[in-house]
Amino acid sequence: MTSIANSFGYRGTNIIHCGPIGMGETVNLANNLVAGVSMVAVTEAFALDVAKGATPRVLFDMMSKASGNCWTLHARCPASGVLSERPVNDGTRQYAATSRQGYARLDFSAVAKLLQANESMK
């Protein structure tokens, strides 16, 4: 087990044995599900915040010290100007693009429609 973990060390610092072959993929899928839901929840919180006239910085400061604190808030904060070095948020950009194309009232299928439209333009 140690030799296998050493060979995967280049991929990250947290190597966790999850069980038999394929279990790591299952556990990773569950983790990604939580991360995706968290991204949606954080984005919706900021949308509500702005819609009601509050400032994103105040929401960020409050959530950082309360039960809403999570990895997404710090790594993928959807509000510009809150963090000095905010990574590009593809989901936010794609949602804005879908809104411009008239798909704003759809669920995530709107992103698929946008990608299909872009592909057909090539």
Is residue 41 domain-shared with residue 62, that is, in the same domain?
Answer: yes
- Residue 63 is predicted with a pLDDT of 96
List % helix, strand, coil for the chain (3-state, nearest 5).
60, 0, 40
- Amino acid (one-letter) located at 22: G
- Residue 41 is predicted with a pLDDT of 92
- Residue 88 is predicted with a pLDDT of 43
- Would you list the DSSP string of 35-85? HHHHHHHHHHHHHHHHHTT--HHHHHHHHHTSTT--HHHHHS--STTSSSS
Angle, helices 23-51/56-64, rounded to nearest 10 degrees: 130
- Amino acid (one-letter) located at 116: Q
Residue in the structure block whose two tokens are 């949602």: 95
Q: Residue 26 is part of which domain span?
A: 21-83
The 10s digit of each residue's pLDDT in 25-83 is 999 999 999 998 998 899 899 999 989 999 999 999 999 999 999 998 998 888 877 87
The 10s digit of each residue's pLDDT in 70-116 is 998 998 888 877 877 665 445 556 667 777 777 767 666 666 666 67
Q: Look at residue 62 and tell me if it is in a domain.
A: yes
Q: Which CATH number goes with the domain that contains 26?
A: 1.10.1040.10
